[in-house]
Homo-oligomer: A and B are copies of this chain.
Amino acid sequence: MVKKLMKKRSKKIGLPPGTMVFVGDKKVENVSISVIDYDQDHYEARQLQKIEEVFPFKKTPTVSWLNINGLHEIEILEKIGSHYDVHPLILEDILNTDQRPKVEVFDNYIFIVLKMITYNAVKEDVVIEQVSLLVGDNFVITFQEFEGDIFQPVRERIEGGKGRLRKSGPDYLMYAIMDVLIDNYFFVLEQLGETIENLEEKVLVDPNQMIVHDIQRMKRELIFLRKSVWPLREVISNLVREDSILIKPMTEPFLRDLYDHTIQVVDTVETFRDMVSGILDIYLSSISNKMNEVMKVLTIIATIFIPLTFFAGIYGMNFEFMPELHLRWAYPALWGGMLTIAIVMIMYFRRKSWL
């Protein structure tokens, strides 16, 4: 769990800033590079063998979306860094995959760090992957840790050729990528919401100790989600307020819309946290209640039979001179007395509403 939170930064202690060390696990075998180049009339998509193949696109006025899966080959980043004139600290940030979501606006590009979350239904686990964006005047570069992403719909909308995407610049592409990423938060929240409902049902039907672990796990998933999405608010509101020439006024309402979505995600995460706390409360009170039930049963049985057993014990004694033992009616009388005691006890428990 802690691993999910922190990458092994200790690898880097004392290295000069801007030293590029990939702190994560090597998550893909080979780094795969793809480019989509488009404008209103033109569309081209390619898998690249070498990063150098993308450099000619920089000079064309068309928008090029360069996507890189896998960060462990440092030299690719270095080449991009020098070709697109990126500050070494930014390159370092791309490799530090436990970065907080943030935005940095430079003259020639905008750098955005985001968290892409996906839900692994098998492991019931939220997977968090860092996605970095470099947005320039005619390019968008996205860096991902894993193979596979959630941007397919954006690619299809570009390929489809209709709609605003083909007509707009890289700022709108940036928006489209962020939009699909945040929409995905809703999807993951839906899954978590279902898990929470299951937990709720479980705590009513069959509350057991395992549920505490499930609750704690859910709490943590929500903490991680919150950590991913909370700074997003600031990121997007900075993008809106920032008057970079790289973001056209036309894109602003879309970013504002994105901002609303982000707030909604944050809200939902908070509500989920409240709900999960509520489930814990129900569980704890149901344990107390059960214990109470158990105690009552023990007490009822014990308080009825312990005195009776005592009387039975009395007349089991072997004293020579116990006059009662020789009375004919003593045995049935004792039974009568015992029944009376039992009934009185039961009535007492009734009045205390323990029965």
Contact = CB atoms under 8 A, between A and B. Distances in A.
Number of copies: 5
A6 interface: yes
Interface residues of A, number: 122
A46 interface: no
A303 to B, nearest CB: 4
A176 to B, nearest CB: 8
Contacts of A13: 150, 153, 180, 183-184, 186-187
Name which of A153, A298, A303 has the most chain B CB atoms within 10 A of its CB: A298
Interface stretch (A55-63, A66-74, A130-138, A319-327): A319-327
Contact of A254 (B8, B17, B104, B278): B17
A50 to B, nearest CB: 29
Contacts of A180: 13-14
A286 B209 contact: yes
A189 interface: yes
A88 to B, nearest CB: 9
Given A278-B219, A285-B209, A16 B253 contact: no
Contacts of A322: 318, 331
Interface of A: 1-2, 5-6, 8-10, 12-18, 87, 89, 92-93, 98-100, 102, 104, 150, 152-154, 156-157, 163-165, 175-176, 179-180, 183-184, 186-187, 189-190, 193-194, 196-197, 200, 204, 206, 208-209, 212-213, 216, 219-220, 223, 227, 253-254, 256-257, 260, 263-264, 267-268, 271, 274-275, 278, 280-299, 301-303, 305-310, 312-322, 324-328, 330-331, 334, 352-354
Given A302-B306, A320-B328, 17 more contacts: A13-B186, A14-B183, A16-B164, A93-B257, A98-B264, A102-B260, A209-B285, A219-B274, A285-B287, A294-B299, A302-B302, A306-B306, A306-B309, A318-B325, A319-B325, A320-B325, A320-B326
